[in-house]
A and B are shown apart, each in its own frame.
Chain A
Amino acid sequence: MGDGVKKLTLRGREAVNGYLFILPWVIGLLLFFIAPMIESIRFSFAEVSISDSGFSVSINGIDNARNFWENYRYFLLADASFLEKLRTTALDTAAAVIVITVFSLFVAALLHGKFKGRNVYRAVFFLPVIMTTGVMYLLIQQGMSGGELYTSTSIVDSGNAFTFKVTSLRDIMLQGGLNADFVEAVTKLVNQIFNYVSKAGVQILLFLSGLAKIPASHYEAAKIEGANGWESFWKITFPIISPVIFLNTIYTMLDSFITYGMENSGNVTMYAIQQMGFGKVMRFDYAAAMSWIYTLMIIVFVLLAYLAVGLPSSKVTEGR
């Protein structure tokens, strides 16, 4: 950033005005993020028991005789299955970030160009964004997988046989007389592609918004100077949208880390935490400790992303 902005903002009143901009959001953050977060740290070092009157929290080593780190010790040392789940989730996420970011930039660049039917294509690529949330997500999940229900206390109970799960793509192909192994392989591949493609909707849209900001005159000038498409991508598009590339890397990473999974597929770590805290066991203390271990892992990932993408991109933006 230029020095000029700095000098001007330091002029008292202007700076105060600036802080007023951020105030409404910060108040919300303190109440609904910082306060609950601190509370969950407290849970993770305590034994939380539920009674009729609510729940009681007894801090480890102070209010009871347990080791202060007991909850963490359990998941890091005693219970190997949780670490295994973390490993699976980490690998899945790394793959998703690379595939989805590259894929969505590619698609966005294509959709940004001028050709007939562009609007129709854009509309189609947005479909997954609606599909992958809320009620729709639930319905589509069952329709596509034809598998068991994903359980969540807040949405729909697993006891119910439900909607159109009877008709899945696989059944249609098997009925068509195709070889079972072939159908299995195709289904797996299709699921994987669908999984990635359907998660790229937001990223494509963000890239499109980033590309929309680049003035056409930049490309015209480059063309007159004799640059080809490849060169103008790396010299114009890439530097200008690099903050968006970073944004998308982070988005994809977090999206993959926070989506719900099932016991053996999808995000297994989230499923385990969900079950611990809100399933039949209702151990908030354990769930809090699991979440914090998981959060620390996510922080490490984001820091890596900063080192890989964030630093060069922030240099680019500050240079202008």
Chain B
Amino acid sequence: MTLSRSTGGTVTIILFLGLVGAFMALPVLYTVVTAFKPLHEIFYWPPRFFVREPSLENFTMLFEIAQEMWVPLERYIFNNIFVSVFGTALYVFVASMAAYPLAKYKSKTLDAVYWVVVLAIMFRPEVTRIPQYVIMNALGMVNTYAAMIVPVLSGSFGVFLMRQFMLGVPDSMIEAARIDGGSEYYIFFRLIMPMTRPAWLTLIIFTFTQFWNMSGAEYIYDEGMKSLSAVLSQIASAGIARAGAGAVVALLMMIPPYLVFVISQSSVMETMAHSGIK
């Protein structure tokens, strides 16, 4: 979209975005500030937004709590990273593959499948939670990493998202590739995926965030298999004395999804720069 390039216009835009952006940044800023507040300042009355004497007290406290646990914290961190990275890669791949025929083939069966996709995203997981557990138990997936990864793979939002973006790939390009003798796999990997790069980079962000924050407490009993979020919410919920540690937990949990966001968004912008050259 081309906006007026006048200085006045730019200033208005920045002011507007700044105002709205402040709304979004405030709670995060608050979390950061609280993480550095010593305990007596957290409960200070009247409350203050900013920290007066920043300290690392809360970080030390969290570290001490972690030391007392009989499973080392590294183990939980590994669990979270493994499930998030592997799960995200798998889901983005499975969803994109499923979206391609839904967007670019014409068949009555696929039309029906598309409606199932739409129906499935309307459905809340609450109802299916118990039957789903029964099925996972029967497949021997309870208490394994698969319990956290596999159910997510059947999610339909990613398929719906990728399909919407694949609709924008011109049919003429696919036809040209077919006439040149390109197989369907060639078309998918060399044409469709590069052209929908902004879409799947965005999907990576959503999926990673979902996996990263997943607790999985219903499916995992083994202490050494638990996710970081499950363990950290246990730590944070252990009472008033842990309030500071809770803020640190929130701060630390925020960082990895944010890194994924920054990396993939800069990649999206790179794509934009290239499309501008054409």
Contact = CB atoms under 8 A, between A and B. Distances in A.
Given A154-B217, A212-B271, A270-B124, A29 B154 contact: yes
A133 interface: yes
A258 B21 contact: no
A21 to B, nearest CB: 4
A138 interface: yes
B56 interface: no
A197 B23 contact: yes
Nearest to B236: A163
Interface string A184-200: 00000000011001100
A179 B89 CA distance: 53
Interface in B171-212: 171-172, 174-175, 178, 183-185, 188, 198-199, 201-202, 205-206, 209-210, 212
Given A6-B106, A172-B49, A32 B135 contact: yes
B42 interface: yes
B202 A5 contact: no
Contacts of B214: 134
Contact of A39 (B95, B123, B131): B131
A274 B246 CA distance: 26
Interface in B230-247: 232-233, 236-240, 242-243, 246-247
A244 to B, nearest CB: 6
Nearest to B277: A216
B120 to A, nearest CB: 5
A133 B10 CA distance: 33
A74 interface: no
A291 B171 contact: no
Interface in A97-152: 107, 109-113, 115, 117, 119, 121-131, 133-140, 143-144
Nearest to B195: A213
A130 B154 contact: no
Contacts of A5: 104-106, 171, 174-175
Interface residues of B, number: 122
Contacts of A128: 24
Interface stretch (B59-67, B69-77, B260-268): B260-268
A40 B95 CA distance: 25
Given A22-B101, A110-B13, A233 B154 contact: no
Given A36-B135, A198-B23, A154 B215 contact: yes
Given A25-B154, A206-B202, 20 more contacts: A15-B105, A25-B95, A26-B113, A28-B153, A34-B116, A35-B131, A115-B13, A122-B265, A125-B20, A128-B24, A134-B253, A139-B247, A160-B239, A164-B30, A164-B42, A167-B34, A205-B202, A213-B275, A216-B276, A277-B127
